[in-house]
Amino acid sequence: MRLKLYVPDRVFATGGVSRVRAEGEHGSFTLLPAHIDCVAALVPGIFSCVRSEDGQEEYFGTDEGILVKCAGEITVSVRSAIRGPGLEDLRDVFERQLLRLDEREEKGRKLITRLESDFIRRLVEWQRSG
């Protein structure tokens, strides 16, 4: 099988694989070459594959995304991904990155709420004056 792992700005990983394991909305699943074609929504978690060339297992931390298996092609598109040397190290790094992302999203939500409030206040003031 041929794997292509995309993040928004580039191809993150590509290559021949003999097995893929991912985390879906209903639990983890494994794809093998004879598996039927499918589409799956991915949740944040550990994504792993066994490389065809050397039989080594490779681990990625992935954010939510989508996986499509069609014939011998597996295409995965996720918001963000990291490659890790080992499973435990990868989990720690990925959790830290997700926490940073959550903090940035929270700051963005607060800013939008402030802008909306300011807009409504100005709209009410404009209606009263006119």
Map out the domains of the chain with their CATH numbers. Answer: 2-104 (2.60.15.10)
**Using only C-alpha atoms, what is the Rg of the chain?**
21
Over residues 62-80, the pLDDT tens digits come to 889 999 999 999 999 999 8
Q: Note the pLDDT tens digit of each residue in 88-115.
A: 777 777 777 766 766 777 788 788 888 8
pLDDT tens string 16-49? 999 999 999 999 999 999 999 999 999 988 889 8
pTM beyond 0.85: the answer is no
**How many contiguous H segments (helices) and E segments (strands) does the chain have?**
1, 9
Report CA-CA distances (Å) from 5 to 45, 58, 65, 102: 14, 13, 10, 23
